[in-house]
Amino acid sequence: MVTVLRWFFFVFFSTFFLVSQADAATPYVGGSTGFAFLNGDKLTINGMYLGDPEYDTGAAFSGALGMDFDGYRLEGEVAYQKNEIDNLGSDVSVLSVMVNGYLDFQFEKSKIIPFISAGVSYANVDVDALGDDGSDGLLAFQLGAGVGFQVSPTVTVDAKYRYFTAADPEIEIGSSKLEMDINSHNLLFGFRVCF
């Protein structure tokens, strides 16, 4: 958790520095919520392969601070998602601190703005299982695409798809060592407000 906070402050203050240095850019805040479809190809405990886990559809949330450079954007984002593992009474949550870049495809006189995105982050993966919990911090990436609709000159709402993946966590839970894949397909609905 301490490492996540350090990453948060690094991303926040780096983005804030960009905000203060870029006169031609417009700062914004944003948020998203939606559905997280977590999947993975393996689940092992103490080296014993338990099969491919099946996850319930989970919830995802995020908040961001960024800069709009009129055609591309750069932002710092904190995101959280949680999914339950079917029939195991266990759950997996991911807290990530992400640096995202966006490329907006703006068309003259159109309020509809398609975009693509990519990001890199520090992610903390927490697993609650076997009557205990454990976590691992690791590097993560995401790719996305979506479409925004400009409600007003300062407010945009959007819908986006993101593919999120992380290095395989190795989590100590009690005396057991759990290894798994983290891959998630997320469908998010959000907004951003420019200043």
CB 11 within 8 A of CB 5: no
Q: How far apart are CA 160 and CA 177, in angstroms?
A: 35
Using the predicted structure, report yes or no on whether residue 18 has a pLDDT greater than 60: no
pLDDT tens digits along 156-194: 999 999 999 998 888 888 788 888 888 999 999 999 999
Of residues 191 and 48, more confidently modeled: 191
pLDDT at 16: 55
Residues 29-54 have a mean pLDDT of: 86
pTM: 0.84
Q: How far apart are CA 41 and CA 177, in angstroms?
A: 17
Residues 48-53 have a mean pLDDT of: 78
pLDDT at 54: 85
> In whole numbers, what is the pLDDT of the chain averaged over residues?
87
Q: Which two tokens stand for residue 20?
A: 């203060």
- CA 86: distance to chain centroid? 22
CB 99 within 8 A of CB 121: yes
Of residues 186 and 70, more confidently modeled: 186
Residues 94-123 have a mean pLDDT of: 94
All residues at 6 or more sequence positions from 40 whose CB lies less than 8 Å from its CB, including other chains: 52, 53, 55, 180, 181, 182, 183
pLDDT at 13: 58
pLDDT at 103: 96
- Which of the residue ranges 10-19, 42-51, 128-137, 160-169 would you say has the lowest mean pLDDT? 10-19
Domains of the chain with CATH codes: 2-194 (2.40.160.20)
pLDDT at 83: 94
Phi, psi of 12 (to 5 degrees): -60, -50
For residue 18, the cross-strand partners are: none
Residues 133-138 have a mean pLDDT of: 90
